[in-house]
Amino acid sequence: MITKNAQGMIGQSLVSVRNLVHEIIIVDNCSTDNTLEIAKKFGAKIYRYIGHNLGEQRAYGLKKIKTEWVLVVDSDEIISKELMLEIMSKLKTSHLVSNTRDYVRDKQNLKVGYCIPFQNHYFGRKLKYGGENYKKLILFKKSTVKIEPALVHESFKIVKGKVGTLKNKVYHYSYNSLYQMYKKFTDYALREAKQKVKNGEKTSFKKIFFYAPHMFWARFIKDKGYKDGFFRLPLDIGFAYMEFLTYFSMLFYK
């Protein structure tokens, strides 16, 4: 888990994994609230990280892990009880097969990682449409993955072995208030702008003024976000705002 001023939900998140994991590794980027005090109550091993590159922060934490399997959880995510039992079942099977000579054929079909579906929540309400229904690789064998440094949208990739998909979900509480949501979108936009410029991408009039309304149309209309209800309009407007700010901010980075 990587953290920065995550006192709001980190306790609930750690409660959801404490009976599942052998150790808790937290890489904290200079929190000034009670994040670390809460984490210490769960026996977490805490490492300090200074910087803005989320990929590097993830990679640093990965190096500190001693167990074969890794579960990556953010401080605003909760592992459902059903998912916890499913993970236990999968890893128990993996252990049995890897230590039983009679199961050589089954061993060839073993997975080295699992993509897990997410159930996003917006102001406490479940979302099902408009880009909020997705899966992520967050459970894997440490020796089989790599992660590329990235200011935002960092992710793990399997370099060898097969990947499976689990059925039960992670509950994600990413959007808790308008202020918190738009503060996050602003931070993401500025990070994304820096990353795009660093990668050699250029902005344009079209990107600044047309990508934002297209983003809103794609989420709320094309991907049927409207089926969740009109209460989610500020969310999809927020994604459009983030798209606009990203390409507008690129004008000021070199």
137 and 209 housed in the same domain: no
9 and 117 housed in the same domain: yes
End-to-end CA distance of the chain: 32
212 and 86 housed in the same domain: no
pLDDT, mean of residues 87-111: 65
Quick count: other Cβ atoms within 10 Å of Cβ 166?
20
- pLDDT for position 99: 55
Percent of the chain with pLDDT over 70: 93
194 and 84 housed in the same domain: no
54-63, 97-106, 118-127: segment of lowest average pLDDT:
97-106
Task: Report the mean per-residue pLDDT for the chain.
Answer: 91
pLDDT-based confidence at residue 155 (cuts at 50, 70, 90): confident
The domain total for the chain is 2
240 and 144 housed in the same domain: no
Quick count: other Cβ atoms within 10 Å of Cβ 65?
16
H-only helix segments in 174-232: 178-198, 205-216
Q: Tell which of 154, 174, 194 closes a domain.
A: 174
pLDDT-based confidence at residue 5 (cuts at 50, 70, 90): very high
- pLDDT for position 96: 55
| Domain range enclosing 28 | 2-174
123 and 87 housed in the same domain: yes
Q: Tell which of 119, 143, 174 closes a domain.
A: 174
Q: In this structure, what are the phi and psi dihedrals at residue 45, rounded to the nearest 5 degrees?
A: -90, 120
pLDDT, mean of residues 120-131: 95
68 by DSSP, 3-state: which?
Answer: coil
Q: Which helix (H) or strand (E) holds 28?
A: strand 25-28
136 and 151 housed in the same domain: yes
Q: Which of 36, 31, 12, 8 is nearest to 176 (CA)?
A: 8
107 and 197 housed in the same domain: no
Q: What is the pLDDT of residues 192-243, one digit of tens each?
A: 999 999 999 999 999 999 999 999 999 999 999 999 999 999 999 999 999 9
99 and 148 housed in the same domain: yes
- pLDDT for position 105: 47
CA atoms within 13 A on the CB side of 102: 1
pLDDT-based confidence at residue 107 (cuts at 50, 70, 90): low
pTM for this predicted structure: 0.88
107 and 17 housed in the same domain: yes
Q: Tell which of 174, 208, 233 closes a domain.
A: 174
- pLDDT for position 98: 52
Could you tell me the two tokens for 174?
Answer: 């990413």
Could you tell me the two tokens for 53?
Answer: 């590159």
CA distance 208 to 186: 15
25 and 98 housed in the same domain: yes
Q: What is the pLDDT of residues 161-202, one digit of tens each?
A: 999 999 999 999 999 999 999 999 999 999 999 999 999 999
CA distance 44 to 167: 28
Burial of 238: CB neighbours in 10 Å, binned 0-12, 13-18, 19+: buried
116 by DSSP, 3-state: which?
Answer: strand
CA-angle at 219, arms to 217 and 224, nearest 5°? 100
Q: Which of 148, 232, 122, 244 is nearest to 192 (CA)?
A: 244
What CATH number does the domain containing 49 carry? 3.90.550.10
169 and 216 housed in the same domain: no
